[in-house]
Amino acid sequence: MSFEMIIRKIRVMLIDNIRLFLTINEKGSLVAAGREVGLSATTVSERLAALEAHYGVVLFNRTTRSLSLTDEGRTLLNGAKIVLGEIQELDARIRHGAETLSGPIRISAPIDIGRSIVSPVISSFTEEHPEISIELVLSDGYVDIVGQGFDLALRFGAVTDSTLRTRNLGQFRRIVCAAPSYIAAHGAPQIPAELTQHNCLIMRFGATLDNVWRFEVDKKPQTVTVRGNKIVNDGSLVRQWALEGHGVILKSELDVASDLHAGRLVALLECFASPPNPLQMMFPPGRAQPRRVRALAEALSSAMGAKREG
């Protein structure tokens, strides 16, 4: 075997081990990664050790129950996704033509928006680009975009991680509302403070309980700590409980606009509404996203634009 062939083989092995490293991080364990790619846990461990030896660093902090990226592992994760994405795109452009988009995209979105807006966009996008595969993870809680290997994520509110790149998709109000059946049985609050006398259905965003609702009274911010008999981390379930007349909810206008329009829910305390929240599209730090991610981001942005205008 020639020296050039040996070097080429080493490079291919390095790229394969980096791909395996990404899978280990995504799946959260060596066993799960091995199951995903059809390798034994021992083989996965050996290949990870070879990759760490190549770079001379530890890529994962290991315990008997979990794996977490080291700083060096995070650096490799950021760079590897970009480099492997570019390799995949180059391969697709050579094989299928310059205009073909291909490869995987991982996206995270809130549950309601994921179902009502993101899912239809994905269906149209994959129909137009059949070489694209998309994994959509729905969660109303915090997600570690880099650590969990997402290409983009949608979240409401200000972004606290300054390393992430963001794109504002518009400002959307949160609306206090309830079903006509609940209002008929319990009345409607006339001022924010009266919410303490009502059964409020509360969202949990990860470790954060969304029980402090914000309003503006005489142009001054006011908060009301609400309580109720149901708490859940699923935004669509909170909405369903409200539709069934179980209590009062605070939801984005994107989630309840059709219910309000149809009269299934009634907006409350509108004259005390707080300023709208931004909906952000977030991307991992690093260089420009692969073309497939940019194309999906444009499709999502257009869909949100249509919602704003509608």
Look at residue 309 in the predicted model and tell me its pLDDT.
62
State the SS3 of the chain. Answer: CCHHHHHHHHHHHHHHHHHHHHHHHHHCCHHHHHHHHCCCHHHHHHHHHHHHHHHCCCCEEECCCCEEECHHHHHHHHHHHHHHHHHHHHHHHHHHCCCCCCEEEEEEECHHHHHHHHHHHHHHHHHHCCCEEEEEEECCCCCCCCCCCCCEEEEECCCCCCCCEEEEEEEECEEEEECHHHHHHHCCCCCHHHHHHCCECEEEECCEECCEEEEEECCEEEEEECCCCCEECCHHHHHHHHHCCCCEEEEEHHHHHHHHHHCCCEEECHHHECCCEEEEEEECCCCCCCHHHHHHHHHHHHHHHHHHHC
pLDDT of 93 strictly over 70? no
Over the stretch 50-79, which tens digit does the pLDDT of each residue have? 888 888 889 888 877 778 888 888 888 877
- On whether the CB atoms of residues 272 and 217 are closer than 8 A, the answer is yes
Which residue segments constitute the domains of the chain, with CATH numbers given? 174-275 (3.40.190.10)
Confidence grade of residue 180 (pLDDT, cut at 50, 70, 90) = very high
Inform me whether the pLDDT recorded for 12 exceeds 90: no
Average pLDDT over residues 304-309: 75
pLDDT tier, 6 (very low <50, low <70, confident <90, very high otherwise): very low
pLDDT at 7: 47
Across the range 278-293, mean pLDDT stands at 82
Instruction: Please give the Cα distance from 288 to 108 (Å, whole number).
Output: 19
Instruction: State residue 288's pLDDT score.
Output: 65
pLDDT(96) > 50: yes
Question: pLDDT-based confidence at 92, cuts 50/70/90?
Answer: low
Q: What is the pLDDT of residue 203?
A: 92
**What confidence tens digit (pLDDT) does each residue in 214-228 have?**
999 888 899 999 999
Is pLDDT at 172 greater than 70 in this prediction? yes
**Backbone φ and ψ of 185, nearest 5°:** -85, -30
Across the chain, mean pLDDT equals: 86
* Short-list 124, 154, 127, 128, CA closest to 142: 154
pTM of model > 0.85: no
- Distance in angstroms (rounded) separating the CA atoms of residues 74 and 76: 5
The mean pLDDT of 107-126, rounded to a whole number, is 92
Above pLDDT 90, what percent of the chain? 37
Radius of gyration over alpha carbons of the chain, in Å? 24
**Mean pLDDT value across residues 104-113:** 90
